[in-house]
Homo-oligomer: A and B are copies of this chain.
Amino acid sequence: MKTQEIFTVVEDELKILDKNLKSMVGARHPILNAASEHLFSAGGKRLRPALVILVAQQTLKKSSIRPSQRRLAEITEIIHTASLVHDDVIDECITRRGVTTVHSLYNNKIAILAGDFLFAQSSWYLANLDNLNVVKTISKVITDFAEGEVRQGMIQFNSAISMSEYIEKSFYKTASLIAASCQGSAMLSDLDRAQQSQYYIYGKHIGLAFQIIDDILDITGSYKNLGKPTGSDLKNGNLTAPVLFGLIEDIDLQHLIENEFENNIDIEKAITIICNGQGLKKAKDLAEEHIQTAISSLPQQSFHNDNENKSFYALIMIGEYILQQI
Interface residues of chain A, those whose CB is within 8 Å of chain B, are: 27-29, 31-32, 86, 89-90, 108-110, 112-117, 119-121, 123-124, 126-128, 130, 132, 135-136, 139-140, 142-143, 145-147, 149-151, 153-154
Q: Which residues of B contact A28 (CB under 8 A)?
A: 147
Is the pair B119, A90 in contact by a Cβ cutoff of 8 Å?
no
A139 near B112 (CB under 8 angstroms)? no
Whether B32 lies near A150 (C-beta < 8 A) is: yes
* 10 examples of A-B residue contacts, CB within 8 angstroms: A86-B113, A89-B112, A109-B153, A115-B116, A116-B119, A116-B145, A120-B142, A127-B139, A132-B132, A132-B135
| A116-B146 in contact (CB<8A) | yes
**If the complex has contacts A130-B132, A136-B124, A153-B109, are A147 and B117 also in contact, measured as CB distance less than 8 A?**
yes
12 extra A-B contacts, CB within 8 A, seeds A32-B146, A117-B143 = A27-B147, A29-B151, A31-B154, A86-B112, A90-B112, A109-B153, A110-B153, A113-B149, A116-B142, A119-B142, A124-B143, A127-B135
Could you say how many copies of this chain the assembly holds? 2
Are the C-beta atoms of A124 and B139 separated by less than 8 Å? yes
A126: chain B residues within 8 A (beta carbon): 139
Residue from the set A31, A90, A109, A120 with the largest chain B CB neighbour count within 10 Å: A120
Given contacts A120-B143, A135-B127, A136-B128, contact A150 B29 (CB under 8 A): yes
